[in-house]
Amino acid sequence: MKQPVGWVALCVALLCSTGVRATPTGPDSSPPEPLATSWIYRDAMMAPWVDYSWTTRNLKNTSPVAVGQYSLAATMRANEALFFYTPLIGAEATAALTLRVHGGTSGTNASIKVLAVADGVWTPGVDLGRYCTGGRIQANLWVSCRVPIQDIAPAGSALSGIALQEGRGVALPTLYFDDLNILGATAPPPVVVTVSPATASLPPGGTRTFTAKVTGSPAPSVTWSVQEGSAGGTITASGVYTAPSRAGTYHVKATSTSNPTSFGVATVTVGTPQPGGLWVSGYYTGWNADYYPPEKVDFSALTHIMVGRVTPRPDGTISTQFDNSNGPAMARTLAQRAHAAGRKALIMVGGAGEHDGWVGAASNANRARFVQNLVNAMDTFGFDGLDIDWEPIEAVDKPFLLALVKELRAARPNMLMTIPIGWVNANFPEDADPWFTNLVPYMDQINVMTYEMTGPWTGWNSWYSSALKGESGNRPTSVSSSLNAWVAAGLPKAKLGMGIPFYGMAWRHITGPYQPYTDWSDYVGSDNDFTYPYIQELSSQGVYHWDEAAQSSYITFATPVVDGTVRWISYDSPQAIAAKGAYARANGFGGTIIWTLNQGCTDPETGDNPPLDAVKSAFLP
């Protein structure tokens, strides 16, 4: 069949093929009664059917008329059609389209195809004439026609439209139709719209992207609105909500485009963030941006985002590609979204593997140029500060690092500046070097990278990636012991944050914690390999465990997974994250860093990020 064109094609593609019957919903609603007959035309179009024809027609033709006062006259040119749209209906096995047709003065040889839109798709159609009395449309005579629905639509499909279309590619004389209906039509299941997230908390002027799922209809589209009108904020056609400046409770509404009586609602609480609360600083890395698209980042669960990364060169210049082919645009998007949500955005500078660049750029010869390039990058991409990720910090590096942060602070006094530092092995307390107190006046956050705090090292037992407690003997580290070691070295608790990994560490040979490591062959993978969604995928084959002493979680596998040898994975479950948030609050620490936000996302299309949701609950008001 030649498909319809123009505005009618748009109707068919976007509306007519995806309609939904208006069905009341709610606890007091009863299932709709089956409809014995669904009338399409009787002297006029009959609700809920709507005329979306693409041909010349007259709905109030006075002669000839088969039944009642009027008939429907249509003068079809090649491939033109009468098209009748309805909200979604079903059909019993014995259902049929019945109608009467009059061939006018010369319509005996007219060919009309009967087609349907079934489950949102056009069917091939059949010739109407052979289903009429006498086997054809006749001139100067009304004939009755009965077309079984099963001949024009798959069994059990949902119908949203019927077309009567010229079938040979020629112009026809005026034909007349009357008494159109579907016998044996049934009402569809109710349409349900679900909005995600169902609740959200935002600062005044903050933003959040909502998504909607429509069931009971082949039409996935919705229209977005705010129940309180402009006083409750604004929302775009793609579901991006912007909170109003006034605190309060507001409601985001998603309405089915095909059934306006069906809608879902999310509740948004708008308020001013409490001053002095814990921070949540999440690293977002360009090399795995596809895991968690910039447009999906949930800023209601963050206070700061650290976008990585800008890399230092030994001559004091920098690379601003952010480890992504679309890095600059990605960075701008994240900064803009952070600010729209009332959050702060920092550029992650450096990282593991960039030590030589740091040393050269922070040297006396190149430091001034380096400082200016960093400040220019902040301004160019719209960021609030820098995360100074100098790894490792050797003894000879410390004077140059201190000079660098002093000059950055002098160049931009109000900028935010943070730095990550290493965890501490209780066997080597000198690793918590009191020299780092020199950085305190210049840093807003000093975050301890408390993850991957184990390895198959001589004398060690198998241990967790990020145990909160439980250090002892041959497992001599934990989040709490590392934080307290830095406090003992002179760093203030209010500026100290702990690290939370959104990935795990996987091991072979050994079957859990507290066992002697064999050698490096025990280690399978961690960062960028065993992400949170991958661990969740594997977890169905294993057993979840909670170590109360260590306040840490892990999964074991009776039958090895992945490469046939992985027996256990240590990771931070929501239970472990909740324990860390409670510990930070109870002991006066500043907050947390996340490595990395990307690795927590379980669905890039929806932006679902369960560990980030857990962090939000544990660390934010």
Give pLDDT tens digits for 348-387: 999 999 999 999 999 999 999 999 999 999 999 999 999 9
> What is residue 157's predicted lDDT score, i.e. its pLDDT?
79
Q: Which helix (H) or strand (E) holds 309?
A: strand 304-312
Compute the CA torsion angle 61, 63, 67, 69 (nearest 10 deg): 60
Indicate the average pLDDT of the chain. 89
> What is residue 63's predicted lDDT score, i.e. its pLDDT?
96
CB proximity list for 507: less than 8 A, separation 6 or greater:
462, 522, 523, 524, 566, 567, 568, 569, 570
Q: Considering all CA atoms of the chain, what is the largest pairwise distance in Å, rounded to the nearest integer?
A: 105
CATH topology of domain 6-186: Jelly Rolls (2.60.120)
| Chain mean position to CA 504 | 23
Q: What confidence category does residue 202 fall into, taking pLDDT thresholds of 50, 70 and 90?
A: confident
CB proximity list for 229: less than 8 A, separation 6 or greater:
none
Q: What is the pTM of this model?
A: 0.59
Q: What confidence category does residue 587 fall into, taking pLDDT thresholds of 50, 70 and 90?
A: very high
How does pLDDT run across 450-497, given as a tens digit for each residue? 999 999 998 899 999 999 999 998 999 999 999 999 999 999 999 999
Q: What confidence category does residue 18 fall into, taking pLDDT thresholds of 50, 70 and 90?
A: very low
> What is residue 3's predicted lDDT score, i.e. its pLDDT?
36
Residue closest to 308 by CA, chosen among 323, 325, 295, 329: 323
> What is residue 620's predicted lDDT score, i.e. its pLDDT?
93
Mean pLDDT, range 540-563, rounded to an integer: 96
Q: Residue 422 is encoded by which pair of tokens?
A: 């290493």
> What is residue 189's predicted lDDT score, i.e. its pLDDT?
61
Q: Residue 540 is encoded by which pair of tokens?
A: 């169905």
Q: Find the range with the poorest average confidence among 4-18, 71-85, 424-438, 550-564.
A: 4-18
User: Do residues 491 and 436 make contact, with C-beta atoms less than 8 angstroms apart?
Assistant: yes
CATH topology of domain 192-270: Immunoglobulin-like (2.60.40)
Whether residue 220 has pLDDT greater than 90: no
H/E/C letters for each residue in 167-180? CCCCCCCCEEEEEE
> What is residue 16's predicted lDDT score, i.e. its pLDDT?
35
Q: What percent of the chain has pLDDT over 70?
A: 92
> What is residue 274's predicted lDDT score, i.e. its pLDDT?
42
Q: Any idea where the domains of the chain sit in the sequence? A: 6-186, 192-270, 277-421, 450-469+483-621
Between CA 156 and CA 150 the distance in angstroms is: 9
Q: Under CATH, which architecture does the 277-421 domain have?
A: Alpha-Beta Barrel (3.20)
Between CA 96 and CA 37 the distance in angstroms is: 10
Between CA 151 and CA 18 the distance in angstroms is: 21
Whether residue 272 has pLDDT greater than 60: no
Whether residue 164 has pLDDT greater than 90: yes
336 vs 208, higher pLDDT: 336
Q: How many CB atoms are closer than 10 A to CB 297?
A: 26
Whether residue 188 has pLDDT greater than 90: no
Q: What confidence category does residue 187 fall into, taking pLDDT thresholds of 50, 70 and 90?
A: low
Whether residue 552 has pLDDT greater than 50: yes
Q: What confidence category does residue 17 fall into, taking pLDDT thresholds of 50, 70 and 90?
A: very low
Mean pLDDT, range 75-90, rounded to an integer: 89
> What is residue 40's predicted lDDT score, i.e. its pLDDT?
94
Q: Are strands 248-256 and 222-226 parallel, antiparallel or unpaired?
A: antiparallel
> What is residue 207's predicted lDDT score, i.e. its pLDDT?
80
Q: Which residue in the block uniquely carries the two structure tokens 């439980």?
A: 470
Do 6-186 and 192-270 have matching folds? Answer: no
> What is residue 30's predicted lDDT score, i.e. its pLDDT?
40
Q: Which helix (H) or strand (E) holds 12?
A: helix 6-14
Whether cis (ω within 30° of 0) applies to the bond prior to 204 is no
Q: Which helix (H) or strand (E) holds 532?
A: helix 532-539
Whether residue 126 has pLDDT greater than 50: yes
> What is residue 201's predicted lDDT score, i.e. its pLDDT?
75
> What is residue 273's predicted lDDT score, i.e. its pLDDT?
44
